Structure 1
């Protein structure tokens, strides 16, 4: 009798533990959104165009709805398409979608550090520090506008040197890049400075490589990519950049140890690391990752947007003429623009906003569920990659009258007054909204208005405006193709 009694006690104990475990973890089974049937190994990759993955995903959303599942290889990924779905997820579920999934190439580059591809406490600490540091350096204040206008004068000097002859479009990126350099390193660089030239060249090469099919393949099949060494060209360029940045960090660390003032983002990082009040989060490796993030994002995004803005003005001379007419009326020929005058320049502001909407510079950067999350009636388990498709917001047919056309009227009312649009989300939204949004807006307005105040922007002689190439070049961002324009001084 003792043996059956023992078995009964063990069974009762097992049931009791099972009930307690289920009470502690009542997680229901995941409920995934619909999506196309995956192929073995490939998943749904055969349905996605390599160069315009965002457009392929928009096409799939027309069949499967605003919230759907795709398989990128073996990885289940949820896609959010259209303004309503993206807004509800990023704003309504902002806490749950604040993380990034582990993207293989950025795991190798940043090792979980930095600002843009980190998650959890390292991301929160880096972001909070960066916001404070940029504010203390004058971002969003008068001194920042003075810095931008100084750079505008230097850029104008370069353009004047061409005497109305064609100049390379990429030259326009030097000014916003140098503003980022000044914030990072505490001084602006001559455009022929070897460090400036080397870093810009490396950034350009890295951005092209990050958008290449080989890196897309590496991110989807990292084991295969590692075997084929697909990541090595990117890492080689990153290592070259890190050598330059380490030398800058070392030089500033020495200057600060002698009692020098904090005058840059790098200085603030070094000072924060010396305090060590975040458990080592600002040690040298993560400091280098933060500098690399600010350098890459701060140069590429604003530089590419300014190039697009000037290219589209040459492509649409009627729009350019209206902007210049407004600038002449409000500012006259000699007074430079200031940030507070955007309200007095509604058409100029509308054009700049439309440029950013039309080009969809960064189509999507994936998020990741930090906990089991409900989206659109579906239950996604913790760790699910989620793509908020910003292209689908900026081209949403329910939000824009002519989404596929360049039309500044999207941001004007019937009386010609500027209208803010909720679906204008080029900087994303929620807790992961771009940390440099305020700086980018100031730079773009002052540089764009200043250039159009001074120059007529034209195609090369013999080239029709309608034939200028507005197809994006293959890169991590949707940057314009390399081409030439003319900047003819206005009388």
Structure 2
């Protein structure tokens, strides 16, 4: 009897799926199988790249019985997230995200709440100096702390355990904006916060996160790394609540010192947009996750590429010596006079996406809550998954997309070449609100490190260019030497 019910259910699901596929005016894609969708159509070496080659820049992939629209071209990105931004800004529902953030914060919220939280975050970051000289001075001060810490331990071996210095330096910039103070690099509490954040932000993209999305009730009862991440989120909240309490006791409403002070003012003024202490915690988590992990991982890739390509490192250092010398720190104004160095940083962005793990091929999904006429198809209520990697490595944009080549961003006269399709921080209304901050940090930290040190491999060691799993992928653990200039 049970077998008959199972067979009947399977037939019913097949009929429903067949009807949806044949009647929906969806972009092209392989025919899905019941229950598993297109899992057998996804290649192993280049899981989603095969879809682009066969079906074009806009295609349909079935995740189980649910259709998903894949975007792999710059023009399709622009049409969806710029020209039809109001339709494609919401986030799809995932059980793992709901468990971690309850749909609050800056990254995974949607609708009116997301608009208000993003508007506030942009205003607060601008108020506290993002894009201005005041913040540049704070970053330069942190650059000195980082370089001095490395210098004091010469000969310094950068390894997985000591790379925390780079992460600490980047995290301190966010700490200054959010908390109003920085931490010392040996602060145990500081490292615990980063450890908890790392657990939380790695989970959604991991196998444990995907299993939880498929079987939330079952997985909630089973042990695994998802439970570790849930526990880390619970441990993280008291740290942030302690900061909020301290701010409430010490703040002067007429003179806000940081993001938390400004947010507490907003809580008193506006409850309709869900400005609450709970939402403040999730916003701070998102600011740290996006502002620390992404930038510190890019800097790790940068150092790894400089060791792998010593001729590029030498050329960068030569340009820095000629333009800046050794007597002053780099400034943002130096970018125009450092075209090769600036091109190298852009090429690092492109190359690090090449080494992303297969599961990270896509950015966060978007959800179409209203009917859209898109690329000749009517789309409604489906997840839209933009594959940023495909754009950054477009052969039409980069002549040698599989080689580390800074010339991709230089014109025939050696001047920096700006490209509209270079969108490592996404595009449209979901553009990372700290983009300007990230650009400042990357340029100033990278040029400062190149000015002060030459990075070399350990004798007899071969460096891997494989990436790790996370929302922002870093390189696999590696060891290099930092030799003072």
TM-score, length basis structure 1? 0.88
Q: How does 1:298-309 map to 2 (within 5 A)?
A: 298-309=291-302
Q: Work out the CA distance in 1 between the residues paired with 2:245 and 2:31.
A: 53
* Aligned residues of 1:366 and 1:386 also touching (Cα < 8 A): yes
Number of corresponding residues: 453
Residue 49 of structure 1, CA deviation: 6.6
Instruction: Say which of 188, 211, 215 aligns to 1:217.
Output: 211
- CA deviation profile, 1:17-68 (whole Å, cap 9, x unmatched): xxxxxxxxxxxx7411121222222212344478x8xx41111221222111
Structure 2: stretches of 5+ with no match in the other structure: 1-22
Residues 127 and 217 of structure 1: CA distance in aligned 2, closer, same or farther (over 3 Å): same
Highest CA radius of gyration, 1 or 2? 1
The answer for unaligned runs of 5 or more in structure 1 is: 1-28
C-alpha displacement of 1:427: 0.6
Query: Offset at 1:474?
Result: 2.1
Contact 1:72–1:220, Cα closer than 8 Å, also in 2: no
The 5 Å alignment of 1:6-17 reads none
Cα distance in 2 between the residues matched to 1:73 and 1:395 = 29
In 2, Cα distance between equivalents of 1:119 and 1:160: 46
Are 1:320 and 2:318 an aligned pair?
no
| SS of residue paired to 1:56 | coil
Partner of 1:174: 168
Residue in 2 that maps onto 1:471: 466
Corresponding residue of 2:181? 187
Structure 1 position 81 matched with structure 2 position 67: no
1: distance between equivalents of 2:383 and 2:143?
41
Q: Residue by residue, what CA displacement relative to the aligned partner does 1:158-189 show, whole Å, maximum 9, x if unpaired? A: 21133124122523222111111111100111
Structure 1 position 460 matched with structure 2 position 458: yes
Taking the TM superposition and a 5 Å limit, the aligned residue runs for 1:109-128 are 109-128=100-119
Displacement after TM superposition at 1:356 (Å):
0.8
Structure 1 window deviating more from structure 2 (356-365 vs 118-127): it is 356-365
Distance between the aligned counterparts of 1:245 and 1:152, measured in 2?
26
The yes-or-no answer on 1:447 pairing with 2:422 is no
Cα distance in structure 2, aligned partners of 1:200 and 1:41: 38
* RMSD of aligned Cα (Å): 1.9
Supply the distance in 2 between the matched residues of 1:132 and 1:214 (Cα, whole angstroms): 36
Partner of 1:3: none
In the alignment, which of 14, 25, 31 is matched to residue 37 of structure 1? 31
Contact in 1 for aligned 2:122/2:433 (Cα 8 Å): yes
> In the alignment, is residue 240 of structure 1 matched against residue 235 of structure 2?
yes
- The 2-side partners of 1:190 and 1:201 are apart by 16
| Contact persistence 1:125–1:278 (CA under 8 A) | no
Q: Does the Cα contact within 8 Å between 1:176 and 1:299 map onto a contact in 2?
A: yes
| Contact 1:32/1:69, CA 8 A, preserved across alignment | yes
Aligned partners of 1:432 and 1:207: how far apart in 2?
A: 18
Aligned residue number for residue 376 of structure 2: 377
**Whole-angstrom distance in 1 between the partners of 2:274 and 2:114:** 10
Give CA deviations for 1:415-455 in whole Å, capped at 9, x if unaligned: 10000011111011011111010000000000000110110
1:285 paired residue number = 278
2:334 matched residue in structure 1: 341
Shift of 1:478: 1.7
Residue deviations 1:111-130, cap 9 Å, x none?
Answer: 12111111110000000000
Structure 1 stretch displaced more, 119-128 or 199-208: 199-208
